[in-house]
Amino acid sequence: MDGAFVGSASGRRFEKRRPIDNALLGHVHEGGRDEIDAAVAAARAAMEGPWGRMTVEERSALLYKVADEITRRFGDFVAAEMADTGQPKSMMEHAFIPRGAANFKIFADVVKNVATEAFQTPTPDGAGALNYAIRVPKGVIGVICPWNAPLLLMTWKVAPALACGNAVIVKPSEETPGTATLLGEVMNAVGVPKGVYNVVHGLGPNSAGEFLTSHPGVDAVTFTGETRTGAAIMKAGADQIRDVSFELGGKNAGLIFADCDFDAAIDSAVRSVFLNCGQVCLGTERLYVERPIFDKFVAALKVRAEALKPGNPEHKDTTLGPLISQEHRAKVLSYYEKAKAEGATLVTGGGVPQLDGALAAGSWVQPTIWTGLAESASVVREEIFGPCCHIAPFDDEAEVIRLANDTRYGLSTTIWTRDLARAHRVASKIEVGIAWVNSWFLRDLRTAFGGSKQSGIGREGGVHSLEFYTELRNVCIKL
């Protein structure tokens, strides 16, 4: 923090283990109240110092340098994220790390080109007045990050926050400390002023997470993660009437109509169910398939699921990584057992794959597909966050819309049909933040992204991110 790498004042540390084999990767210093106090002080000093005096153009130029330095150290970021998550190298090299770097350039450009409003206002004396708005930084932003795409999802918040002139205190997940720490080296290397980017590692309750979210010197908190944690963060900030931005849980539905491009729909389902070992907030855990193609769809997805290959993330033929931790594996396997107890028909998977050598000790589970469960079953209602899905048939449009909306979550959906009128009609009726038609995970980063119901508060992306990281100040000039 404040441009320096420091240990924990309390001396407390926690273990970080590799998901692929449960080997000890290292010990991480656990921040507490003292570290959060120091980070807040450093961030506030930066806002009052050279960072606060920089122009938009100067900040944007620095963010371009940050992106370029991440790219220069590309191999270091790939290695760190692979060690922390165990996910295949190809996914890190072609998606997660490049997007993490690109976020800085994207928001550097957005902030330079965003407009505000201006009005000419009549006055009784006839001279008039001019009202115009300016954007000012919100202040010190607490950024609490998830472990499933660490750099990408962290920079999705840090980049717009810095572009707008704020200072940040990042609390990465304890499961993925690597790339947040590397980013601190990058910030120093390119000359970002001290105190602008601070990282405090730690846990949640009675640790860095709790002390950050309840600190009176933090002006806003942005969080991506589990819904219950979001509720706790909201309560912690209530006394300060603090702004929050949340992207929370999901139980996303895929709607597959009989007139779809079948092969493309299967390809999409393989990705949306099993990518990142199912640890994707936008992933699909519920699939509804129109009855005429139901059996064919289930059989085809079974073949593709069984073709996924777990293994060393360095190997080119590895297509499935592990879950993030032994603790998370226990959770996912508990749902596998619940599905069995609730009477599911197991199409494939349902257990732990057999791997050789050290990998046998990793956090692996089998890609799993079920059918035959009632909509009230726990694996249909509750977010699992693993490589699994339940597939159910439907008979008409009204029925599948009702099924898709019968959830407390509302993050995303996928709709597969060649009928354009139906696509527009159904997409408008699904209660989610984003509805994909004949695609999945296709994003224009200028568009609004977020969830409805218990899947979140607020929107991120393009100018929508700026709405959270700035305050609009109206200036009224009497002419």
CATH of 13-248+455-478, one of 3.90.180.10, 3.40.640.10, 3.40.190.10, 3.40.605.10: 3.40.605.10
Determine the distance from the C-alpha atom of residue 97 to the mean position of all C-alpha atoms in its chain, rounded to a whole number.
Answer: 14
Are the C-beta atoms of residues 170 and 180 closer than 8 Å to each other? yes
**Is 252-444 CATH 3.30.420.130?**
no
Cα 58 from Cα 186, distance rounded (Å): 17
CATH 3.40.309.10 location in the chain? 252-444
Provide the residue type at 176 as one letter.
T
Give pLDDT, residue 297.
98
pLDDT at 4: 87
Specify the domain boundaries for CATH 3.40.605.10 within the chain.
13-248+455-478
3-state secondary structure the chain: CCCCCCCCCCCCEEEEECCCCCCEEEEEECCCHHHHHHHHHHHHHHHHCHHHHCCHHHHHHHHHHHHHHHHHCHHHHHHHHHHHHCCCHHHHHHHHHHHHHHHHHHHHHHHHHCCCCEEEECCCCCCCEEEEEEEEECCEEEEECCCCCHHHHHHHHHHHHHHCCCEEEEECCCCCCHHHHHHHHHHHHHCCCCCCEEECCCCCCCCHHHHHHCCCCCCEEEEECCHHHHHHHHHHCHHHCCEEEEECCCCEEEEECCCCCHHHHHHHHHHHHHHHHHCCCCCEEEEEEEHHHHHHHHHHHHHHHHHCCECCCCCCCCCECCCCCHHHHHHHHHHHHHHHHCCCEEEECCCCCCCCHHHHHCCCCCCEEEECCCCCCHHHHCCCCCCEEEEEEECCHHHHHHHHHCCCEECEEEEECCCHHHHHHHHHHCCCCEEEECCCCCCCCCCCECCEECCEECCECHHHHHHHHEEEEEEEEEC
R_g over Cα of the chain: 24
pTM: 0.95
- Tell me how far CA of residue 447 lies from CA of 110, 460, 463, in angstroms: 12, 8, 8
Per-residue pLDDT of the chain (479 residues; tens, 9 = 90+): 778 898 888 889 999 999 999 999 999 999 999 999 999 999 999 999 999 999 999 999 999 999 999 999 999 999 999 999 999 999 999 999 999 999 999 999 999 999 899 999 999 999 999 999 999 999 999 999 999 999 999 999 999 999 999 999 999 999 999 999 999 999 999 999 999 999 999 999 999 999 999 999 999 999 999 999 999 999 988 888 899 999 999 999 999 999 999 999 999 999 999 999 999 999 999 999 999 999 999 999 999 999 999 999 999 999 999 999 999 999 999 999 999 999 999 999 999 999 999 999 999 999 999 999 999 999 999 999 999 999 999 999 999 999 999 999 999 999 999 999 999 999 999 999 999 999 999 999 999 999 999 999 999 999 999 999 999 999 999 99
Which of 167, 237, 188, 227 shows the shortest CA–CA distance to 385? 227
List phi, psi (to 5°) of 345.
-85, 115
Known catalytic residues? 247, 281
CB 336 within 8 A of CB 388: yes
Strands 220-224 and 388-394 turn out to be unpaired
DSSP lists the bridge partners of residue 135 as 472
CA-based angle 206:207:209, to the nearest 5? 110
